[in-house]
Amino acid sequence: MKKLLMISTHILILINLFGCGQSNVNVLNEGASVLALNELPENPLLLHPLSSSINPNNNTMATLYGNDLAMDHVHANNDYDYPAGTILYEVIWKQKPDSLWFGGNIPGEVLSVEQIVFNDKIKPTYKLYKGNGLQVKQRAKDTLERVKLIISQRLAVSP
């Protein structure tokens, strides 16, 4: 009996050691991050998150980011007339199940980054970064539609 107790204590200690070793590993969602800028002018994930959306048909999720001008604008106005100098990024991820919560999905790999820059011209400029390393796509399709869709997103309103 005593022996059994000792063995089980040892096993417990081993489990604990193993557990501690694991807990020291810092888990970041690297796959969903922009680890190298490559052709991107900046890391959009470091800007202000304005809104979030999900496309269950494609199993994707997106966050709309913006610079300070964008943030100020959406907090004070309800229109889509962003001032010149506004930069928006729509980052789209493939969804993956949340390993820590059954019933939730979190961002998986980054599928694309779309950049919209408002300048003095009537039409804002649109750029699509896609694929491995998020290379800029020269011939992006449905550009106008995408711009419309992205800038029509409303701020996720909090009191």
Partner 1 sequence: MAYKFALCLTLPHNTTKMKKKTIILLILAAIVGLAQFIRPDNIKKYENGVKTEDLAGVPKEVNEILRNSCFNCHSSSSELAWYDKITPVSFLVASHIQEGTEVLNFKDWMSMSIAKQKAVLYYSINKIRSGEMPLSSYILAHPAAKINKNQMQVLEAYLLSISARGKTDSVKLKALERDHKWVKPALNGIAYMPDYRNWKAISTTDRFDNGTMRIIFANEVAVAAIKAKNINPWPDGSVLAKAAWTQEIALDGSVSTGQFVQVEYMIKDSKKYAKTEGWGWARWKGDDLRPYGKTINFTTECISCHRPVRENDNVFTIPLNLK
Binding site for partner 1 (CB under 8 A): 19, 22-30, 32-33, 35, 43, 45-46, 48-49, 51-57, 61, 63, 65, 71, 75-79, 95, 98-107, 153-154, 156-159
Q: Which is nearer to partner 1, 92 or 128 (CB)?
A: 92
End-to-end, the C-alpha distance of the chain in Å comes to 62
Q: Which is nearer to partner 1, 6 or 17 (CB)?
A: 17
Q: Which is nearer to partner 1, 5 or 27 (CB)?
A: 27
The minimum distance between CB 127 and partner 1, in angstroms, equals 21
The minimum distance between CB 32 and partner 1, in angstroms, equals 6
Task: Judge whether 70 and 50 are in contact, CB under 8 Å.
Answer: yes
For 99, 111, 113, 120, the CA distances from 130, given in Å and listed in that order, are: 26, 6, 7, 27
Task: Judge whether 95 and 75 are in contact, CB under 8 Å.
Answer: no
Distance CA 133, CA 39 (A): 8
Mapped onto helix, strand or coil, the DSSP state of residue 55 is strand
Task: Judge whether 11 and 19 are in contact, CB under 8 Å.
Answer: no
Q: What is the largest distance, in Å, between two alpha-carbon atoms of the chain?
A: 84
Q: Which is nearer to partner 1, 7 or 98 (CB)?
A: 98
Q: Which is nearer to partner 1, 100 or 144 (CB)?
A: 100
